[in-house]
Amino acid sequence: MIFNATRVTLAAAILGLSAMAAPAQDFTPENPECIAPANPGGGWDFTCRQVGKSLQDQGLIDKTMQVVNLAGGGGGVAFAEVVNKRGDDNDLIVAASSATATRLAQGAYPGNTTDQVRWLASIGADYGVIAVAADSDVDTLPALLDMIKADPTSVSVAGGSAVGGWDHLKVLIAANAYGIEDVRQVKYIAFDGGGEAVTQLLAGSVQAFTGDLSEAKGFVDSGDIKVIAVLAPERLDGEFAEFPTAREQGVDALGANWRGFYAPGGMSDAAYDSWVSKIGDLYASDEWKAVMEVNGLAPLDLQGADFQAFVMDSVSQIQQISREIGIIK
C-alpha cells in the first residue's frame, strides 16, 4: 500500500500547499548562474533556462542568467561540485526535482546528503508521462504493460534519471498498479537527461520513454513521439487535454515531479532570502502562470523553510517506496 499512501501525500502537496516568500534582503547577484545537472533538452535544463529568462524579463535580476549543463550521476556530479567547490557561492542556484530527492533518498550521491545544501523554492510540479515513438504500434498504456507482462525482456523503457531514480520509479508505479507483481523485471535504461532518452527512442534502441510532460512537449509538438499516458489525477487543460491519463485506462498510477532549486550550503542568509524572494515573486506573477499553463506545470507554491520541509518529507517517502520495491534495504 506504500504506493497509494505516497500518491495521496503528493497529490495533497500539489493541490493544497502554499507559502509566502521570505522578505528580500539587500543582495543582488553579480553573476547569476544556474546549473542544470543534465544535458540540454531535459527537465532540469528547462527549469534553469525558463526561470532565468523569466527572472530577467520581469526585472527580478538585472543580468542574464548563465546556464551551465553539468551532467552525470543522475545529478550527483553537480551536487558534488556545489558541495565541494562552490559551497559559499551566493550567485549560484541549481535546478532540482523529485529526481534529486530520489537519488538523495537512495544514497546515490556518495558522501553527500540532503542537508549539505539550502533548498530555495518550488516553481511548480510536472506530471509524469509514458510515451512511445510516433510510429509505434502501441497506442495505450495497458498495451505496453501487457507486452511487459508477456515478456519483460521485449520492452526497454528509457528515462533521464539513473536506475532507481524518479523516471524509473514512475514506470514501476504504473507496472505495480497494473498487477505486475515483480516490478524489478521491468527493463529500464538510464540516460543523462530526458532529451537523450527520447533520442534513443527515436533511434529504435528502446520501445518506450518515461519522463515529464515539460521535457516531452517539444518532441510531441515536432511529431516525434506520442504520449500514451499522463500520470495525473485527471486530464490536463488546454493543449494537453488530448493526452489520456493512466487512470482512465484502468491503471491507478500518479506521478508528479516537483521542480525547484537548491543553493550552496554556505550561501549567506541575505543571498538565500533574496533568491527565495525572487523566485516567490516570479511564481506569483501572471507571466509565470502563463508559462506553467503552456508547459503543463501544476501548482506547487513553496518557498524557504516550507520548501525545505517539503523536500525532507519527499526524501522520506521515496525511501519507503524504494524499500518496497527492493532498491534499498
- List pLDDT tens digits, range 208-251: 999 988 888 889 999 999 999 999 989 988 888 999 999 999 99
Give the pLDDT confidence of 294-325 residue by residue, as tens digits.
888 888 999 999 999 999 988 987 887 788 77
Per the structure block, which three cell numbers stand in for 8? 495521496
- Taking the C-alpha atoms of residue 1 and residue 12, their distance in angstroms, rounded to an integer, is 17
Whole-model pTM above 0.85? no
Residue listed under C-alpha cell 525532507: 312
Residue listed under C-alpha cell 517517502: 317
Domains and CATH numbers, the chain: 2-125+257-324 (3.40.190.150), 127-249 (3.40.190.10)
Residue 3 CB partners (closer than 8 Å, separation 6+): 173, 176, 177, 253, 321, 324
Q: Rounded to 5 degrees, what are φ and ψ at 40? A: -60, 145
Q: Sorting pLDDT into bands at 50, 70 and 90, what band is 10? A: very low
Give the pLDDT confidence of 79-91 residue by residue, as tens digits.
999 999 999 999 9
Helix (H) or strand (E) holding 130: strand 117-133
Q: How would DSSP label each residue in 37-73?
A: SS-TTSHHHHHHHHHHHHHHHTTSSSSPPEEEE---G
